[in-house]
Chain A
Amino acid sequence: DIQLTQSPSFLSASVGDSVTITCRASQGISNYLAWYQQKLGKAPNLLIYDATTLQTGVPSRFSGSGSGTEFTLTISSLQPEDFATYYCQQLNNYPVTFGQGTKLEIK
């Protein structure tokens, strides 16, 4: 199975900051990576798919990059509603796997 490791696991930042979350895959997955945002008590929400494609309706301050084994999610100019937990997910093959999550908290 493909393992995904996110770093950091916890991140503290202020409104207006720019932050980057990294997701590393245990083997190459081309660009078959998605990013999700999950707020407390809610279902996850798709932000980015195919590593770099922004889902319709997602603000442009979210961006994704990478291919192969290393990927990043960048949020520029953090807004209060961005404080949540973020997960990467690989869709190169089954079983689909998720990273362990990165919790973004307000400093």
Chain B
Amino acid sequence: QVQLVESGGGVVQPGKSLRLSCAASGFTFETYSMHWARQAPGKGLEWMAVISYDGTNKHYADSVKGRFTISRDNSNNTVYLQMTSLTTEDTAVYYCARGGLVVVTARGNWFDPWGQGTLVTVSS
């Protein structure tokens, strides 16, 4: 079955960097867009970034543009989120999610399924 497993979360100091990974299985990874989203404690969902199936198109939320970088390795069925200049406002559960099949726009790029999430805590 389709499965997404995030890793790489933990406690990090403000200003530091962290890289999250999301290992995918059960589907043809290189044909799907992949998203990252997050949820701060007790808050709602916030989309972070998307990468197209072939890695050529990327989009970011304004809140992380210039600080976070999404990438993928289709040979290893993994998508990454490199996070730099972290602040306490970045504390959240980070989820990866599968997007649409061979799409590069937002249309048709709903999130299904989602991984279980990995917690990132930014604290001194």
Which A residues fall within an 8 A CB radius of B? Answer: 1, 32, 34, 36, 38, 42-46, 49, 55, 87, 89, 91-101
Contact = CB atoms under 8 A, between A and B. Distances in A.
Contacts, number: 65
A87 B110 contact: no
Interface SS of A by simple majority: loop
Interface residues of B, number: 24
A91 B50 CA distance: 12
Nearest to A53: B110
Interface string B49-75: 010000000011110000000000000
Given A43-B115, A95-B47, 15 more contacts: A32-B106, A32-B107, A38-B45, A43-B95, A43-B116, A43-B117, A44-B111, A46-B110, A49-B112, A87-B45, A91-B108, A95-B59, A96-B35, A96-B50, A101-B44
Interface of B: 35, 44-47, 50, 59-62, 95, 105-117
B92 to A, nearest CB: 13
A49 to B, nearest CB: 4
